[in-house]
Chain A
């Protein structure tokens, strides 16, 4: 299929026309207790035809990839844009779609087809055997997800961007049960081990060692004490900081949310347009970057789906909010500086403001210094529960595994650790920040937003963090 030829063959009157072809193959393998649960591959392809007429964009997503199909889609999109332009929320010019030319290929060492279906399935079977460290482990799961994506964007202003990705996510989990206690441990929670990488992720020795540890920790939690209740210090591991950054920074800084687009679904934001350049979001230790070029991070790319070139930018510098998460449309609507984050989940959805790689930059403290600084507190790792309000203020998060910290030392393991707080006061209570040795990179395929709904991949990296005086509690 020649996208340039399809574009030049379109005969409609529009100020701008864009075609975005996406082909994505998602392979998914799941083994439970040594037996195959799923061996599947979803293959999707289609073209998003977008036009600008009278200041209004309209789209037609079609799986018909031939010339008549694209022409019909463009004609319908022009009719929709013309009809809607009487009621436009904002009248856009062609500057909403900058000229973009370039390409991107995600890094990997071992190609997707280097592992046969049989080999990968065998590894997952071995993984479930390793997870079952004792009879108390009642359920084991090993899962591998590989995504191969090609996107090609061409537009009437000369834009031409090809981006190719190979992305791998894996998770290994064990459920342990004894008496009336049930505990689950995974490999970092929330499919956090999601990377732009190749099949080198499935290094057998490494996978099996991790599985033994996951199984052992699930069993350890069966006899662990309940997490204590009280207001005390909290140290969060980077795999929980992923969710903390995502929910209480990322979504709050999306300019389309601040402009109200999401008020009927994901919600609004406590951040207002006038807060940029003024709001002390967190303690001076807090530096948040939009960084599309971290090696192997899950949501790296060169251009967003509107054609804006992706660059690293500070959104929060020394705790001060300075920039928003908004692509060209949001920047034009709001007058606020943004980033290249106008992204669509696939060919069948129009782009909106999304997170991509959104990271907390490392500080200077070692892990030992941070633990030594805590008189009484809890260390928590691996997210298992998440909920936050529609303004991104009042959150409650739970983790799989906790450790009590007493007089500067990690002591007993605790189960069902939870905490709740309000975003700005919480981030202002960040009192120690781990150094680069504590910095870890994670991602997740599952961020939901938008009407119609879209699930998109995001990446978050963070060092270890110590927060002062947080409300902490245990299970049911």
Chain B
């Protein structure tokens, strides 16, 4: 794949005319998917795809596009030339773009991570027998993901990574569920079977008769998987500098009214875990770590070079949408062994579901509890709870109601596949809240 990208890059860049600046972005994957329901194969297949993005700039104007690549060099060069021609015709018709960013980063990087992945045909045979009689539903995804970036100033980046993930739910006959993700780069059959056996053990806790709780404010522990869903909301009307400037951010209050969150809450964009490449679509390389919220104070936002130009601030080479690519929340001091005792009486939430801003500017989020969620009394798990709706503001539950943060950090891989297999992961702890509002 890299050879194809390099050949197209060299050929197309050599054909540019005076005054034209071009950025190219490569994305591709060779993926094996197995969809499982009731520990049987529901659907199985492979997908090979690659696309090439174009960012053409001429006389202060910009037109962009992307095409599918077939893998055949002659065919793909012909498609690439066609797209360049289309962009040339279009770009002269467009208005001038005052916040234009020239793709002029000259940096280069290369990263290839090879794993040890099972063959696609072998997957049902290695996954399913270990499931035994448990009702398991989920998705296996494996294979190589590619990203590349190049520009007419000579910048060049290549990133390729092998990975696998089995994201699954275990379900009891009374419809109580436990969620887990087994992910990595080196397949280890024994480790997989041990991991699965451990989640089957957790499922047994769910067979206790469920307790229905009434709407109200409760002491609440949210485990890392649930915290990662909350943190992901900051990519949407959150840490983007453009969103704050354009009055479309929940953090506007922190900037404009100097409101603070809890001193226990620190949050950054941190690439040190290595899941996602540091270069953006323009080939600009982000700092390894950018602290966004430090001890409850908004210290930085994600700033793309385009936003930097518009508002006269400094870029930290965020992607154009200024969403997080490597979210990471700092650990606290609550020991795993002390979570239940510290919670005392309240609810323990393993996972959340379907989050949305119920009032973005006010910082209020609604969503559901899901999977292994329990009623805890005097530090002991008493019963699983029926799923509840929550609706509460980050300025409360990440503010004065944040009582403690766990010492242990968890890596929550993004198993999303809408735009192809995601590469990122949210690194975060669990958190204990003095009060959390359950509404329905």
Which of A's residues lie within 8 Å of B, judged by CB? 32, 35-36, 38-46, 56-66, 69, 76-77, 79-84, 86-89, 116-118, 121-122, 125, 138-139, 175, 177, 180, 182, 184, 259-261, 263-265, 267-268, 348-350, 385-391, 394, 396, 398, 416, 418, 420, 422, 448, 451-455, 471, 475-476
Chain B interface (Cβ within 8 Å of chain A)?
A: 31, 33-35, 37-38, 40-51, 62-72, 83, 86, 90, 93-95, 97-99, 120-125, 128, 137-139, 141, 167-169, 171, 175, 177, 179, 246-248, 252, 257, 353-359, 361-364, 366-368, 370, 387-389, 391, 393, 416-418, 439-440
Residue of A nearest to B34 (CB): A84
A58–B367 alpha-carbon span in the complex (Å): 35
CA distance A58 to B31 in the complex (A): 14
Provide the residues of chain B in CB contact with A180, threshold 8 Å: 257
Q: Which residue of A lies closest to B168 (CB)?
A: A264
Partner of B356, one of A56, A182, A387, A420: A387
Most buried by B among A118, A264, A396, A416: A264
Chain B: minimal CB distance from A138 (Å): 6
Q: Are A35 and B362 in contact (CB under 8 A)?
A: no
A348 touches B418 (CB 8 A): no
Number of A-B residue pairs at CB separation under 8 A: 240
Minimal Cβ-Cβ distance residue in B for A446: B418
A166 to B: closest C-beta gap in Å:
18
Residues of chain B with a CB closer than 8 A to A122's CB: 95
* Partner of A264 from B71, B120, B121, B139 at Cβ < 8 Å: B139
Q: Which 4 A-B pairs have the closest CB atoms?
A: A476-B362, A118-B93, A59-B45, A451-B139
Chain A residues with CB under 8 Å of B72's CB are: 64, 66
* Residues A39 and B70 in contact, CB atoms below 8 Å apart: no
Chain B contacts of A388 at CB under 8 A? 354, 368
Contact among A44, A56, A79, A475 for B359, CB-based, below 8 A: A475
- Chain B residues lying within 8 Å of A451, measured Cβ to Cβ, are 33, 35, 138-139, 167, 417
Q: Is A62 touching B48 in the complex (CB atoms < 8 A)?
A: yes
Which of B44, B86, B90 has the most A CB atoms < 10 Å from its CB?
B44
Are A389 and B99 in contact, with the CB atoms below 8 A? no
B95 surroundings in chain A (CB, below 8 A): 35-36, 121-122, 125
Q: How far is the CA of A451 from the CA of B44 in the complex (A)?
A: 11
B248 & A184 in contact (Cβ 8 Å cutoff)? yes
Query: Could you list 7 A-B pairs, sorted by A, with CB under 8 Å?
Result: A60-B48, A387-B355, A389-B387, A396-B389, A451-B138, A453-B416, A455-B418
Q: Is the CB of B247 within 8 A of A177?
A: yes
Residues in A whose Cβ lies below 8 Å from that of B177: 263
Closest chain-A Cβ to B230's Cβ sits at a distance in Å of: 13
Q: Which of B34, B63, B247, B363 contacts A139 (CB 8 A)?
A: B247
Q: Report the nearest A residue to B35, measured CB to CB.
A: A451
Contacts of A42 in B (CB 8 A): 65-66
CA distance A309 to B360 in the complex (A): 43
> How many angstroms from the CA of A59 to the CA of B35 in the assembled complex?
12
Q: Is the CB of B355 within 8 A of A41?
A: no
CA distance A348 to B64 in the complex (A): 23
- In Å, the complex CA distance between A229 and B82 comes to 58
**In the complex, A349 Cα to B44 Cα: how many Å?**
11
Contact, CB under 8 Å: B364 / A261: no
Closest chain B residue to A81, Cβ basis = B44
Q: Is the CB of B357 within 8 A of A385?
A: yes
A86 contact set on B, CB distance < 8 A: 124-125
Report the bound CA distance from A57 to B37 in whole Å: 15
- CB atoms of A80 and B70 under 8 A apart: no
B121 touches which of A80, A398, A471 (Cβ 8 Å):
A80
Given contacts A387-B366, A452-B417, contact A264 B137 (CB under 8 A): yes
> Which residues of the other chain, B, contact A420 by a CB distance below 8 angstroms?
389, 439-440
Interface of B is mostly: strand
CA distance A31 to B51 in the complex (A): 26
Known pairs A88-B41, A387-B356; A63 contacts B124 (CB<8 A): no
Determine whether the beta carbon of A390 is less than 8 Å from that of B139: no
Chain B residue numbers with a CB within 8 Å of A349 are 47
Whether A89 pairs with B41 at a CB distance below 8 angstroms is: yes
B354 with A118: CB separation less than 8 A: no
Q: How near does chain B come to A37, taking the closest CB pair, in angstroms?
A: 8
**A83 nearest in chain B by CB position:** B121
The listed residue (A38, A82, A448, A475) touching B418 by CB distance below 8 A is A448
Minimum CB–CB distance from B108 to chain A (whole Å) comes to: 26
Select which of A184, A398, A453 is within 8 A of B417 by beta carbon.
A453
Inter-subunit contact A261/B42 (CB<8 Å): yes
Besides A263-B171, A390-B354, 6 new A-B residue pairs in contact (Cβ under 8 A), listed by A number:
A38-B64, A61-B48, A63-B68, A77-B45, A398-B358, A455-B418
Q: How far is the CB of B85 from chain A (nearest CB, A)?
A: 13
CB of B367 within 8 A of CB of A387, answer yes
A84 and B391 form a contact (CB under 8 A)? no
Bound together, the chains give a CA A163 to CA B148 distance in angstroms of 34
**Are A418 and B358 CB-contacts (below 8 A) given A64-B48, A264-B137, A448-B418?**
yes
CA distance A9 to B95 in the complex (A): 49
B69 contact set on A, CB distance < 8 A: 63
- Residues from chain B with a CB closer than 8 A to the CB of A396 are 358, 366, 389, 391, 439-440
Complex-state Cα separation, A120 to B152, whole angstroms: 29
A61-B122 in contact given A259-B37, A387-B367 (Cβ < 8 Å): no
CA of A464 to CA of B214 in the docked complex: distance in angstroms?
A: 33
Q: A76, B120: Cβ atoms under 8 Å? A: yes
The answer to whether A453 and B418 have CB atoms under 8 Å apart is: yes
Q: Which residues of A contact B354 (CB under 8 A)?
A: 387-390
Contacting residues, chain B, for A59 (C-beta < 8 A): 43-46
Residues of B within 8 A of A455 (CB): 418
Q: Is the CB of B122 within 8 A of A83?
A: yes
The interface residues of chain A lying within 8 Å CB-to-CB of B139 are 264-265, 451-452
Contact A87 B128 (CB under 8 A): yes
Q: Which of B47, B51, B123, B124 has the most CB of A within 10 A?
A: B47
CA of A77 to CA of B31 in the docked complex: distance in angstroms?
13
Q: How far is the CB of B388 from chain A (nearest CB, A)?
A: 8
Q: Which residues of A contact B247 (CB under 8 A)?
A: 138-139, 175, 177, 182
Return A457 CB to nearest CB of chain B, in Å. Answer: 14
With a cutoff of 8 Å between Cβ atoms, the chain B residues found around residue A348 in the complex are 47, 49
Q: Which of B46, B66, B70 contacts A76 (CB 8 A)?
A: B46
**CB <8 Å contact, A121 and B94:** yes
Rounded to whole angstroms, the CA-CA distance of A398 and B252 in the bound complex is 20
**Chain A residue, CB-CB nearest to B167:** A264
Given contacts A35-B99, A394-B368, contact A60 B45 (CB under 8 A): yes
Shortest distance from the beta carbon of A77 to any chain B beta carbon, whole Å: 7
